[in-house]
Each structure stands twice: as structure tokens, then as C-alpha cells.
């Protein structure tokens, strides 16, 4: 009887797991899904736009939402563990740029943003 109970429990769990696809559940209707390479291109464009805004004289309050958006986009990159670790390192560089913008140091923030853009370009070759 114990063996039958264990077998029944095993079959029930297997059947319940196999009834739906996790990738199908992860996709939300109306949400745009990007490949890792295209997401990196989008992030590089956003970094360049933020750098251009800093060059134009915008600082602090005007550019902080732009950096926050870039940090949010970085979370959307779904690739291998190696890519995820490198994206995490790049996010720390972007956080330094955000900190510099909070203290009204635009040129320091621009240097961090340029470094992050270079790191993303280098990371893109790893895909």
C-alpha cells in the first residue's frame, strides 16, 4: 500500500507539472519581449541619450529618471549566467552614475555612463 501511495503521489506531481508551460505563463499579453542582443542595443541607445542630455546641460532631476529607466531595462536581459553576472557588474557602474547625478556631478556621471556603454558593447560580443 505504501508503494502504491508513493507511486500515485509521484504521478500526480508529474502530471500537474507537465500540464502547463512556464515559458508560456511568463509571457504577458501586450508585453514586448526583446532578445538579449536587441535589449543591449536599446540600453546603449538610452545611455547615449542620457550622455547627450548631460552634455546639453541637463543634470540631476532631469537625468535621474533616464538612468533609472536604464537600470530597469538591465533587469530584462535574460541570458546565460555569465551574461547575468556581467550585467550585474555593469549595473553597479550605472548606480555610480546615478549617485554622481544625485550630487550634481554631471561629468563624473558621464564618465560612468560611457564606461557602462563600452562594457555593454564588449558584453554583446559574448552572445
Q: At what angle do helices 106-124 and 81-102 cross, to 10 degrees?
A: 170
pTM score: 0.75
Collapse the DSSP code of 57 into the 3-class scheme (helix H, G, I; strand E, B; otherwise coil) and give the result: coil
Q: Which residues contact 9 (CB under 8 A, 6 or more apart)?
A: none
CATH number at residue 63: 1.20.120
Residue 101 grid cell: 547625478
Q: In total, how many domains does the chain have?
A: 1
Residue 80 sits in which domain range? Answer: 34-124
Please give the torsion angle defined by the CA atoms of residues 41, 46, 48 and 54, in that order, rounded to the nearest 10 degrees.
-170
Chain centre to alpha carbon of residue 127: 15
Q: Render pLDDT for 46-101 as a digit per residue (tens, 0 to 9).
A: 999 999 999 998 877 889 999 999 999 999 898 888 999 999 999 999 999 999 99
Amino acid at each position: 500500500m505504501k508503494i502504491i501511495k508513493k507511486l500515485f503521489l509521484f504521478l500526480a506531481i508529474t502530471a500537474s507539472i507537465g500540464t502547463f508551460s512556464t515559458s508560456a505563463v511568463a509571457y504577458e499579453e501586450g508585453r514586448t519581449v526583446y532578445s538579449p542582443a536587441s535589449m543591449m542595443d536599446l540600453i546603449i541607445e538610452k545611455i547615449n541619450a542620457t550622455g547627450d542630455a548631460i552634455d546639453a546641460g541637463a543634470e540631476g532631476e532631469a537625468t535621474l529618471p533616464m538612468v533609472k529607466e536604464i537600470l530597469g531595462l538591465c533587469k530584462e536581459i535574460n541570458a546565460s549566467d555569465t551574461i547575468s553576472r556581467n550585467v550585474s557588474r555593469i549595473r553597479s557602474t550605472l548606480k555610480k552614475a546615478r549617485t554622481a547625478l544625485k550630487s550634481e556631478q554631471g561629468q563624473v556621471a558621464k564618465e560612468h555612463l560611457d564606461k557602462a556603454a563600452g562594457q555593454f558593447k564588449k558584453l554583446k560580443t559574448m552572445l
